[in-house]
Amino acid sequence: MQKKILIVYATRTGSTQEVAEAVAATLRESGLEVDIQPIRNVRTLKRYGAIVLGAPLYMFHWHKDALSFLSRYKEVLTGGLPVAIFAGGPFAKGDEKEWQEVRKQLDQELAKFTWLRPIAIEIVGGKFDPAKLSFPLNLLPALKQMPASDLRDWTAIRAWASNLATKLQTTLS
Ligand SMILES: Cc1cc2nc3c(=O)[nH]c(=O)nc-3n(C[C@H](O)[C@H](O)[C@H](O)COP(=O)(O)O)c2cc1C
């Protein structure tokens, strides 16, 4: 029997969880069995055939739960368990160059894990809702006054997940 895929995610305001759920749905449509969990709930990676790790970028850094997940599971992830990665951000309309900058932010974070060899990496865009800012960010007038926005491109996200499914089918068979 083909092993299950585990999707793990971190989020502050929910948008990365929604992306993780969309990726899960696409992988399932492709016939893969998928579990999905917040990183904090993960107790073991045993029984899984591959991991998808998703988390947002904040202030040029990847969510700390994603970084500690990689440290904690280094041994199993270097021992042949494939990992695919996606990151939330940016949320403000910009040009292609801005997306390249965001990819650089993620690459810098991933470079801390010299052993890491992801089978896929994607920047999925972010969502901003000033009503969801928590302390101390909700005290910053410049942020509070920014308009809500959502740069997540669901067509691109599903296309990425669909390509990933093809890769995983080959890896797991
Ligand atoms: C205060 C703040 C700082 C952010 N910093 C970055 C950043 O450095 N790079 C980036 O690409 N996105 C950045 N973002 C965008 C977030 O990654 C985006 O809003 C994401 O969708 C949040 O994910 P979450 O809802 O799962 O917490 C920032 C957002 C906020 C509110």
Alpha carbon of 69 to ligand 1 centroid (Å) = 19
What pLDDT is recorded for position 117? 97
- The best mutation among 91, 106, 121 to test binding of ligand 1, ranked by most ligand atoms within 8 Å of the C-beta, falls on 91
Amino acid at 169: Q
Cα–Cα distance measured from residue 160 to residue 44, given in angstroms and rounded to the nearest whole number: 26
Q: Tens digits of per-residue pLDDT, 4-30?
A: 999 999 999 999 999 999 999 999 999
What pLDDT is recorded for position 128? 96
Cα–Cα distance measured from residue 103 to residue 85, given in angstroms and rounded to the nearest whole number: 12
First CA to last CA distance, the chain: 9
Amino acid at 9: Y
List, chain by chain if needed, residues with CB within 6 Å of any ligand 1 atom.
11-16, 56-60, 88-91, 102, 105, 126-128, 137
Alpha carbon of 29 to ligand 1 centroid (Å) = 29
What pLDDT is recorded for position 2? 85
For 146, residues 6+ apart whose C-beta sits below 8 A from its C-beta are 92, 128, 130
Low-confidence ranges of the chain (pLDDT < 70): none
Alpha carbon of 61 to ligand 1 centroid (Å) = 9
- Global pTM reads 0.97
What pLDDT is recorded for position 3? 94
What pLDDT is recorded for position 95? 84
- The answer to whether residues 130 and 145 touch, using CB atoms and an 8 Å cutoff, is yes
What pLDDT is recorded for position 94? 78
